[in-house]
Structure 1
Amino acid sequence: MNRLKFLALSVFAIFTLSSCGSMSGGYSLSGAAIQPDWQTIYVATFPNYAPQQNPTLSQDLTIAVQDIFRSRTKLKLNSNENSDLIIEGEISGYDVAPQAIQSNDIAAENRLTVYVKIRYINNKDETKSYERTFSAFQPYDGNAMLSTVEPNIVPKIIEDIRDQVFASIAMDW
């Protein structure tokens, strides 16, 4: 019975503290490293320099990164480089590699990996700025053509890279 009371009190405390944070106008945990005086963010279009191309990857990735900062922080999306925070970079790889090779030298599974080089410029705190490459992958059946699985796996890869970029900036990871 004591465990049940402790659990109930813990849940109550978590909900109380989280609602206080949002009512006070402060940042939620999702934007913990973003300071209140940081007001604007500019996310440049990510050009696609990968040897193998996906025609919508540049636009889809750019929009995904813009949307996560717009929806999870109080930063205002800006259309110029005079912003407090700047995210720019390029898609540098879009690679397919065989994974599970069978005895007949045929891949039972392939893996699509996307690499994105990010330059983060923090005009408010230059010590936070960095240049880093992020990557994400999705496996798919070795018998499937990439063109048939791309509509299902590319959005998952974009989501993963978007989340990595967000965590590295907003959570200071």
Structure 2
Amino acid sequence: MIYKILKKYQPLALILFFSLLLNSCSVYNFTGTGKIDAVSFQVNNFLNNATLVEPGIERTFTVALQDLIQNQTVLTLTNTNADLVYEGEITEYRISPMTATADQTAAQNRLYISIRVRFTNKNKPEDDFEQSFSHFYDYPANEQLIGARLNGAIDEIYERITQDVFNASLAKW
């Protein structure tokens, strides 16, 4: 008897299950952002205010942050009057020795980048913040950090920093 009832209502149960599943996805998604009370975002050009200037890294960061937000949310990128605004500057870009050899020469160097980010949420001002984010890339001292290797190092650092900015602003981690 119960089997006949279950068999009869199986299509209805499946429809109900999938509609609940789809509805819950609007509240939470795999990026951890949950429901965002915004439609658009803008990333103003970041400035390079570091003492040691590497040309172009400010543009690379701006684009990396735009790409990450576009890839992990449904927000629309705009140039003006956005619900969410990211702006700031690169405050530190330095290369320093990390470990020494027995003859007092550097065995490993570190590229370190720090970026100050100001985040403004027009719809929820209590979410606004100004915070520094940083990361580093270690490499052997006997190798020069130029060309493709430098670009790879900067990309690796920016991948971490942009994810940290995303988590602080939208995922609330």
Is 1:139 matched up with 2:133?
no
Match of 1:127 in 2: 126
How many residues were matched structurally? 155
Q: TM-score, normalised to structure 1's length?
A: 0.81
Instruction: Return 119-128 or 24-33, whichever deviates more.
Output: 24-33
CA–CA distance in 1 between the matches of 2:25 and 2:107? 53
Contact 1:86–1:120 (CA under 8 A) maintained in structure 2: yes
What is the CA distance between 1:20 and its match in structure 2? 3.1
Instruction: Return 148-157 or 20-29, whichever deviates more.
Output: 20-29
Contact 1:33–1:172 (CA under 8 A) maintained in structure 2: no
What is the CA distance between 1:136 and its match in structure 2? 0.7
- Tell me the SS of whatever aligns to 1:68: helix
What is the CA distance between 1:152 and its match in structure 2? 2.4
5+ residue gaps in structure 2? 1-16
Match of 1:47 in 2: 47
CA–CA distance in 2 between the matches of 1:111 and 1:34? 38
The 1:105/1:34 distance shift into structure 2, 3 A limit, reads farther
CA–CA distance in 2 between the matches of 1:24 and 1:172? 18
Contact 1:120–1:131 (CA under 8 A) maintained in structure 2: yes
Contact 1:138–1:157 (CA under 8 A) maintained in structure 2: yes
Contact 1:46–1:90 (CA under 8 A) maintained in structure 2: yes
| Structure number having the greater strand percentage | 2
5+ residue gaps in structure 1? 1-15
Kindly name which structure, 1 or 2, has the bigger radius of gyration based on alpha carbons.
2
Name the Cα RMSD after superposition. 2.2
Percent identity for Structure 1 against Structure 2: 28
What is the CA distance between 1:115 and its match in structure 2? 0.5
